[in-house]
Amino acid sequence: MSADALPRLDRTVLPRLAPELRPAVDPAELRTRVVHFGLGAFHRAHQAVYTEHAAARSGQPWGITAVAPRSAGTVHALRDQDCLYSLTERRPDADRRRVVGAVVGALAMGPDAEAVEALLADPEVTVVTLTVTEKGYHRSPATGGLDTAAEPVAADLSAAPDGPLVTVVGRLAAGLATRMRAGAPPLSVVSCDNMAGNGAALRRVVHDFVRASTWPDRARILDRMAETVAFPATVVDRIVPAASEADRAAADAALGVRDALPVTGEPYRQWVLEDSFAASRPPWELDGALFVPDVAPYQLTKLRLLNGSHSALAYLGAAAGLTTIADTMAADWGERLVRALCAEVAPTLPAGGPDPVAYADDLVVRFRNPAMRHLLRQIGSDGSLKITERWLPALRERRAQGADTPVLELALAAWAHSTRLADAPSDPAAEALASCWEQTRRPTEAVRALLRVLGATDLADDDALVAAVAGRLPALRAGRVEV
């Protein structure tokens, strides 16, 4: 049967699905107690799954209303399906698929501003989670605080009291202010983005927004926020490539219903959270989430080893003309690169996290998963924000210790090379990056300028580093990866 002839996935078709394909909870029994910003595949394959299992296993009605900062299209598609979607775990041997029922509402941040605002002030809502990617935070590379001069942030700061807000930080700050004014109970705001100290980073930009606002009661709001809003740090992990047409067709065929928003991911998932919530939360530990006093060892291990390797594979693989992570792992240098990067970076990791050698072993297996098609281009996007988290802090630490850093230099060269190409991966700083190459014919000067765009003036002034990175460019230009 063609997909168009299939009935649409929604609550009415659930009873017709095989029991193992149905959600773990009856969505009709859930209420919105979590608001999530960022309606992407990652949230639907990660926090939504933990929340669904937490609700199912505790009998508590933890449902999620997900807010899309921009794409109203996804909101409509999700609403058309009563917020249901299928999740396919891509195992090397076979796929495992089922419908997830944790999401009970979908809102578009702009058009549905009033509803979003009301939920943020709702005493029943005690948790807000975010997956808005690094660029959603609008941090200044120089200070780490809110970049109040960035155009959308400045627009939000000068918006009329009931005017439209375009940044998630502005929307969240305004919603929290309403909650504080109403004297609503405490709540926790949980950043699930790939940044070191993500809780503190989010707290800072939200507080900065309130401080920079023209709200007459901003001082009181800040005081009350400091008392009643927690920003725990978290580490989220699951590889979730963007769904392809083939994924959609496979989901439709296996479910016997049409799902416009299927998600596919690897079987592995992990969530480590700082145990510092201000109010009640879903008992995610019932689904294996780990609550710890300090997430830093887990966070830095994941960022520097997993995400660090991912970015390195993305730019090196692209230079070699490859398309997916699995392609890079099939190349003779792929596994060597992952292991060498992990070994180079491991001395910078705090004690108390996973063993780096065992972690690297697991990464090789996860990256090799032949059932996954994770595009290098997807991982290579927004590099200017990603590599400052994933590579540069470790690079600085190793150089300060007087150690050689050949693998990070090679990775940086591959990134630099990518910024020069006509089809460079998308990046909010794309123009500034491209102009680094237009202003000079000398590769060392271009590399220096690129590092300055990243806000890494210290590294730009490191002549030995700059020369080493530039020295790797000719081989990469010729499509050779020499690990």
Segment contacting ligand CS2 by CB under 6 A, of 1-9, 94-102, 235-243, 434-442: 235-243
Least Cβ distance, residue 224 to ligand CS2 (angstroms): 34
* Residue of 51, 81, 129, 194 that binds ligand CS2 (CB under 6 A): 194
Segment contacting ligand CS2 by CB under 6 A, of 80-88, 100-108, 234-242, 406-414: 234-242
Q: Where are the alpha helices (DSSP H) in 267-391?
A: 296-301, 308-319, 325-330, 334-345, 356-368, 376-380, 383-390
Between residue 330 and residue 359, which ones bind ligand CS2 under the rule CB under 6 A?
Answer: none
Least Cβ distance, residue 239 to ligand CS2 (angstroms): 4
- The answer to whether the beta carbons of residues 169 and 108 sit under 8 Å apart is no
Which of 36, 386 has the CB closer to ligand CS2? 386
Segment contacting ligand CS2 by CB under 6 A, of 28-36, 237-245, 426-434, 438-446: 237-245
Alpha carbons 210 and 285: distance in angstroms, whole number? 33
Radius of gyration for the alpha carbons in the chain, expressed in angstroms and rounded:
23
Does the footprint of ligand CS2 cover residue 238 (CB under 6 A)? yes
Which of 237, 361 has the CB closer to ligand CS2? 237
Between residue 394 and residue 423, which ones bind ligand CS2 under the rule CB under 6 A?
Answer: none
Least Cβ distance, residue 403 to ligand CS2 (angstroms): 25
Least Cβ distance, residue 309 to ligand CS2 (angstroms): 9
Does the footprint of ligand CS2 cover residue 237 (CB under 6 A)? yes
Least Cβ distance, residue 128 to ligand CS2 (angstroms): 20
SS3 category, 380: helix
Alpha carbons 318 and 315: distance in angstroms, whole number? 5
Give the rounded distance of the alpha carbon of 479 from its chain centre: 30
Alpha carbons 388 and 394: distance in angstroms, whole number? 10
Tokens matching residue 454:
């990243």
Q: How far is CA 270 from each of CA 108, 191, 267, 287, 302, rounded to the nearest angstrom? A: 28, 15, 10, 10, 10
- Between β-strands 95-100 and 85-90, what pairing exists: parallel, antiparallel or unpaired? antiparallel
Which residue number has the CB closest to ligand CS2?
A: 310
Query: Whose CA is closest to 208, among 156, 130, 132, 135?
Result: 156
If phi over 0 gives left and psi between -120 and 50 gives alpha, with beta otherwise, what is residue 48? Answer: alpha
Segment contacting ligand CS2 by CB under 6 A, of 171-179, 236-244, 288-296, 466-474: 236-244
Which of 179, 339 has the CB closer to ligand CS2? 339
Tokens 């809502």 sit on residue: 125
Half-sphere exposure of 376 (CA within 13 A, CB side): 24
Segment contacting ligand CS2 by CB under 6 A, of 11-19, 88-96, 146-154, 233-241: 233-241
Amino acid letter, residue 242? A
Least Cβ distance, residue 388 to ligand CS2 (angstroms): 13
Least Cβ distance, residue 354 to ligand CS2 (angstroms): 14
Does the footprint of ligand CS2 cover residue 310 (CB under 6 A)? yes
Segment contacting ligand CS2 by CB under 6 A, of 98-106, 109-117, 232-240, 398-406: 232-240
Does the footprint of ligand CS2 cover residue 44 (CB under 6 A)? no
Least Cβ distance, residue 379 to ligand CS2 (angstroms): 4
Does the footprint of ligand CS2 cover residue 379 (CB under 6 A)? yes
Which of 237, 397 has the CB closer to ligand CS2? 237
Query: Whose CA is closest to 171, among 36, 72, 303?
Result: 36
Least Cβ distance, residue 100 to ligand CS2 (angstroms): 18
Alpha carbons 405 and 312: distance in angstroms, whole number? 14
Alpha carbons 89 and 105: distance in angstroms, whole number? 24
Does the footprint of ligand CS2 cover residue 307 (CB under 6 A)? yes
Query: Applying CB under 6 A, what is the total number of residues that bind ligand CS2?
Result: 9
Alpha carbons 107 and 78: distance in angstroms, whole number? 10
Between residue 132 and residue 161, which ones bind ligand CS2 under the rule CB under 6 A?
Answer: none
Does the footprint of ligand CS2 cover residue 378 (CB under 6 A)? yes
232: DSSP letter: -
Which of 120, 363 has the CB closer to ligand CS2? 363
Does the footprint of ligand CS2 cover residue 239 (CB under 6 A)? yes
Enumerate residues 6+ apart whose C-beta is below 8 A from 423.
Answer: none
Which of 229, 433 has the CB closer to ligand CS2? 433
Segment contacting ligand CS2 by CB under 6 A, of 179-187, 352-360, 378-386, 461-469: 378-386
Does the footprint of ligand CS2 cover residue 386 (CB under 6 A)? yes
Query: Whose CA is closest to 395, among 345, 359, 351, 444?
Result: 345
- The answer to whether the beta carbons of residues 373 and 324 sit under 8 Å apart is yes
Segment contacting ligand CS2 by CB under 6 A, of 115-123, 231-239, 346-354, 447-455: 231-239
Between residue 438 and residue 477, which ones bind ligand CS2 under the rule CB under 6 A?
Answer: none
Q: How far is CA 56 from each of CA 41, 59, 127, 241, 273, rounded to the nearest angstrom? A: 22, 5, 18, 27, 20
Tokens 């505790």 sit on residue: 58
User: Which positions touch ligand CS2 (CB under 6 A)?
Assistant: 194, 237-239, 307, 310, 378-379, 386
